[in-house]
């Protein structure tokens, strides 16, 4: 059976020589071609630059996207971002696609910082891996009960008093 | 160099007039997952779902595959459906499965619109696609939140 709709989405993080991070979020499907580019400055992860371009057949209501995205400049990636991005970019006069793009681009920035720690521990197996995961949880308590691996009944959580 | 890349691919088939079948893949430097789910078009209810976890970070992760079955019966049209999927599938199972499901859900109306444009073009190759889409969006306001 032929596919009647296909969406391809890519988000990339690239560290720049000045220490900031370039984040490129791109979407292409049968009807829409969209690009959002953010530049994020550590250590407070402030979005210092934001650009958006919607092409192909976007809804007319979304035509203000290039101006709208500027509202996230100055916003920091951190707790409360979902609410902030929805408030600045969403709603009846907003563009839900931009909300999704900013949140997914921000998530990619977090995973950019997560990757080295995971790679450092990837040769661990069995109990050693579980012990390393427990140690990681102690320094990242926001992950507790965030997924099945960190729910109370998980073997990783046994013996942890968090 | 690129230090993190995530790619998502969402496909939609229409096996009959009432149903859409999604296949979603998410690949990144850390995780690799796949979801297939069948959705009733009229009310957005998830009729069937299965998933595969190909790359993950700890030995507990694969237990999230069974949690997917709790999504059967959830409607992708109900208020706050995406937060519900993240809560019930993401928190109780795996947030990366939930991310793929949410992207499939966002594509529900976009896929319907794409199918409608295609069929209209078969009738009239000179169709003004922008006008057709605006008229379709007027009749189907749910597309604006997709």
**How far apart are the C-alpha atoms of B92 and B74, rounded to whole Å?**
15
Reduced to 3 states (helix: H, G, I; strand: E, B; else coil), residue A81 is: helix
Residue A39 shares a structural domain with residue A89: yes
Q: Closest approach of chain B CAs to the CA of A58, in angstroms?
A: 8
Mean pLDDT comparison of A72-76, A90-94, A115-119, highest-scoring range: A72-76
Residue A109 shares a structural domain with residue A145: no
**What is the reported pLDDT for B90?**
97
Residue A67 shares a structural domain with residue A133: no
Domain residue extents for chain B: 6-107
Residue A160 shares a structural domain with residue A84: no
**What is the reported pLDDT for A96?**
92
pLDDT tens digit sequence for B30-49: 999 999 999 999 999 999 99
Question: Where on the phi/psi map is residue A19: left (φ > 0), alpha (ψ -120 to 50), or beta?
Answer: left
pLDDT band at B141; cut points 50, 70, 90: confident
Q: Does B122 touch chain A (CB under 8 A)?
A: no
Q: Does B119 touch chain A (CB under 8 A)?
A: no
**Averaged over A42-67, what is the pLDDT?**
94
Q: Do B3 and A9 touch (CB under 8 A)?
A: no
**How far apart are the C-alpha atoms of A50 and A63, rounded to whole Å?**
16
| Better-predicted residue by pLDDT, A121 or A112 | A112
Q: Round the average pLDDT of chain B to a whole number and report it.
A: 94
| Better-predicted residue by pLDDT, A124 or A161 | A124
Residue A99 shares a structural domain with residue A133: no
**What is the reported pLDDT for A21?**
98
Residue A111 shares a structural domain with residue A142: no
State whether the Cα torsion A111-A113-A117-A123 is positive or negative: positive
Q: Do A148 and B92 touch (CB under 8 A)?
A: yes
Residue A94 shares a structural domain with residue A45: yes
Q: Closest approach of chain B CAs to the CA of A74, in angstroms?
A: 23
pLDDT tens digit sequence for A3-37: 999 999 999 999 999 999 999 999 999 999 999 99
User: In this structure, are strands A21-28 and A5-15 parallel, antiparallel, or unpaired?
Assistant: antiparallel
CB-nearest partner of A7 from B67, B91, B107: B107
**What is the reported pLDDT for A162?**
64
Q: Closest approach of chain B CAs to the CA of A120, in angstroms?
A: 12
Residue A127 shares a structural domain with residue A88: no
Among A116, A133, A151, give the residue marking a domain's end: A116
**How far apart are the C-alpha atoms of B74 and B78, rounded to whole Å?**
8
Asked if the structure places residue A55 within a domain, the reply is: yes
pLDDT band at A155; cut points 50, 70, 90: confident
Residue A19 shares a structural domain with residue A53: yes
Give the residue numbers spanning the domain of A23: 8-116
Q: How many structural domains compose chain A?
A: 2
Q: Do A60 and B134 touch (CB under 8 A)?
A: yes
**What is the reported pLDDT for A140?**
83
């Amino acid at each position: 059976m032929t596919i009647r709709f296909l969406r391809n989405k890519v988000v990339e993080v690239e560290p720049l020589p000045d220490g900031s991070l370039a984040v490129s979020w791109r979407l292409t499907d049968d009807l829409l071609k969209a690009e959002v580019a953010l530049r994020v400055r550590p250590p407070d992860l402030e979005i210092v630059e934001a650009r958006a371009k919607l092409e192909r057949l976007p809804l007319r209501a979304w035509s203000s996207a290039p101006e709208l995205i500027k509202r996230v400049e100055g916003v920091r990636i951190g707790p409360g971002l979902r609410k902030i991005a929805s408030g600045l970019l969403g709603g009846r006069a907003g563009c839900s696609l931009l909300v999704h793009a900013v949140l997914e681009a921000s998530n990619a920035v977090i995973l950019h910082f997560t990757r080295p720690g995971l790679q450092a521990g990837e040769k661990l197996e069995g109990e050693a891996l579980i012990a390393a995961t427990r140690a990681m949880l102690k320094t990242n308590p926001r992950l507790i009960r965030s997924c099945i691996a960190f729910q109370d009944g998980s073997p990783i959580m046994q013996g942890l008093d968090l | 160099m690129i230090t993190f890349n995530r790619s998502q691919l969402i496909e939609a088939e229409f096996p009959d007039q009432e149903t859409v079948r999604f296949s979603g893949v998410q690949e990144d430097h850390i995780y690799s997952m796949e979801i297939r789910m069948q959705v009733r078009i009229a009310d957005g209810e998830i009729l069937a779902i299965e998933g595969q976890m190909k790359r993950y970070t700890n030995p507990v992760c694969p237990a999230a595959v069974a949690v997917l079955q709790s999504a059967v019966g959830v409607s992708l049209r109900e208020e706050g459906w995406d937060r519900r999927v993240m809560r019930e599938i993401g928190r109780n199972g795996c947030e990366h499965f939930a991310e793929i499901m949410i992207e499939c859900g966002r594509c529900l109306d976009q896929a319907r619109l794409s199918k409608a444009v295609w069929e209209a073009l078969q009738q009239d190759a000179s169709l003004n696609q922008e006008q057709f889409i605006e008229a379709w969006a007027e009749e189907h306001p749910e597309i604006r939140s997709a």
